[in-house]
Every structure is written in C-alpha cells, then in structure tokens.
Amino acid sequence: MSGKALRDLNALPLSETESESLNKSVLIKPVVDNSNGDPEKVPARNSTLVASSVAKEAEVAPTVTDVGSTEVEYIESENLNDVDDKEKVLQTLLAALDSKDWILVCEALNNVRRLSIFHKESMHDILDQVVSLIVKSMKNPRSALCKTAIMSSEDIFKAYGDLIIDLFDPMLIQLLLKASQDKRFVCEAAERALVAMTNWVSPTLLLPKLQPYLKHKNPRIRAKTSMCFSRSVQKLGTEGIKAFGIDKLIQIAASQLSDQLPESREAARSLLFELHSVYEKSNPSASVEPEPAELSSWELFCQSKLSPLSAQAVLRVTSVAREGLVFGF
C-alpha cells in the first residue's frame, strides 16, 4: 500500500459506534450503589459536593448520564458545619444560587442550609430572593440539584417558621409535586420537608394555605395535602380546633374520606378521630352512651353538618374508634 493511501486511511473519521465507545471509555466512572434508590448519592468523607474531573466533558457527550460524571453526597442537617467566612458567603450567595453551573448552585444551596442553622438572622433581608431561587432549583430536572434544594427548604422551615408564610405558596406547590412523583429519593426528601413544614409553621397560618390543594385535580397532591392538613390540625390543640371550627373541619375530613387514594382516606380518618375526641371533651354529655332509641350528641352534630351519606360514613369511622377504646384495642 502506498504512503499516500496510508495517509488517506488515517485521515478517515471514526465511525459513530467507535466514537461513542471512545467517549464512554473516557467518561464513565464506576459508582458504588449503596444509595437506597438514589443513583447519584455515593460516599464522600469530608465534602458536601464532590465533582469529578470529567463533569464538563459529560456535557458534550449526551450518552453519558450524571451517574457517571458526578458524585454527590447529601449531608443531613445535623452533620453540616458552619461556613468559614459568613460575610463572603453572603456577598456571593444570590449570584451563586442563580448560576448556570449546577455544581456551584448545589454548593450555594448547602451554604443556605448552613446560614439557616448557624446565622439565620443574616439572611433576613434577602430571604425572599433566597426562597425564590430555591424554588427555581426545585424545578430543575437534574435530580441532585432538585433534592439539594428540597433539603434546603427543610432547613428554611426549621429556621424561619412563620416568617416564611408570605413567601410560601411557590415552595408549597413544588414540595407537593415532588412528594407526589415516582423518583423515590426525591419523593422522600420532599415528604421530610413537608413534615418539617407542619412542625415549624403555625397551623393557623398553614391550614388556609393547604386548603385549596385538598381539591387539586391530581389525586397524589390531594393525598399529600391531606396528610399535611391532618398533622397540622392535631397541632392546633383542643382550643385551636374549636376556634378554627369543628364544623368546618368535619366537612373537610368527610370529603377526603371518599377520596381516590388510601393516603387521603387514612389522613381523613386520623383527622376525624381527633375531631371526635375534641368534641367529646367540649361536650361532656357526648361521651355518655345514649339509650338505644336515642341518637348521641355526636351523631346529631354530624347529621346537622353533613349530607346523610357523609354523616353515615363519618359515624361509621368514629364508631369503630369508640369500640376500640371500649374494648382496649
């Protein structure tokens, strides 16, 4: 073969298959799967976020996923350390949260978490912008970024409680959406954030925010909302429930009792048990067993506030609870 022919052969481009094989040999990095369903979580000893040197190369190789290009560790709140330089972090925080570099955004989100835990007063003036950018990251399709944002919201709830209520609506719907999806490790993080929300935001402020989502067209969102609503009502206490209105709450619980998903129905039953208990404490005669031909005060109350079918369903649930107490179940 002539020298010219050899040169022409060497100049030929690689086939698509060969090129893809070469890219993979460079970019794919084995990941140990001990993540309990989280494909992007791997062990890391001393850092919040460890990015491999091939992260940028992965951007030009669409066949390679985040699993092979970046390793992410999610640090629990109690294991986070304080920031090294609070003032420096604050100066660059908003720009970092709005960066196009998702790794930088994850680092900034973890700094939000640190500031919330160790210096919560330092973010008061920019809290509205911080919350807005956290919500933006929650909407990102990259799972690592989305989950880190959700974890940030949990720490925001713990740190600021009722102060967050005016900035609350965009974050609430995103958490309900993420808790309703099929990607388990994102769903579980969102559920933890919702629990933190019910623990740290006053029920009198939270319940009106939750109510519209009890009628959402997505049954999963209704179910997650029902669970939050039930937990929040229980934190009202007897006087708080009476002030909010047992009649209003029993109508909400009755509507959820026939909902599509079992989570909604279970939350409704839990709420009805609580309402029944509060009603009996507020009306001592309600706990006295009526004569066979008589209706109890609770039965009369349910029938006066609900449709016949709804009242029957509610009484069936609460009568089971009463029988369980009588027989020590």
What pLDDT does 319 receive? 87
- 133 in a domain, yes or no? yes
- Binning pLDDT at 50, 70 and 90, where does residue 6 land? very low
Name the token pair of 6.
Answer: 């050899």
Buried b (16+ CB within 10 A) or exposed e, 35-52: beebbbbbeeeeebbebe
- State the CATH number of the domain containing residue 120: 1.25.10.10
Domain match, 195 and 176 both: yes
pLDDT above 90 covers a percentage of the chain that reads 67
% residues pLDDT > 70 (the chain):
72
Q: Which domain holds residue 46?
A: 14-73
pLDDT tens column, 61-87: 332 334 334 566 789 999 999 999 999
Provide the residue type at 68 as one letter.
Answer: G
Do residues 80 and 64 both lie within one domain?
no
Q: Same domain for 136 and 162?
A: yes
CB neighbour burial string for 89-119, b if at least 16 within 10 angstroms, e if fewer: bbeebeebbebeebbbbbbbbbbbbbbbbee
pLDDT of residue 327: 29
93 and 56 in a common domain: no
Q: What is the pTM of this model?
A: 0.75
- 140: nearest Cα among 115, 167, 106, 117: 106
Same domain, 156 and 177: yes
Judgement on whether residues 148 and 62 belong to the same structural domain of the protein: no
Query: d(Cα 118, Cα 100) in Å, to the nearest integer?
Result: 27
Please check the confidence at residue 44 and state whether its pLDDT lies above 70: no
Mind listing the pLDDT tens digit for each residue in 157-215? 999 999 999 999 999 999 999 999 888 999 999 999 999 999 999 999 999 999 999 99
At 290, is the pLDDT very low, low, confident or very high (cuts 50, 70, 90)? low
Residues 151, 34: one domain? no
Report the mean per-residue pLDDT for the chain: 81
For residue 260, is it within any domain? no
Domain count, the chain: 2
How many Å apart are CA 307 and CA 166, to the nearest integer? 36
Q: Do 47 and 109 share a domain, yes or no?
A: no
127 three-class SS: helix
pLDDT value of position 326 = 34
If asked whether residues 162 and 177 sit together in one domain, one would say yes
Number of H helices, E strands in the chain: 17, 2
**Consecutive H or E run containing 119:** none
The pLDDT, as a whole number, for residue 286 is: 57
Is position 165 within any domain? yes
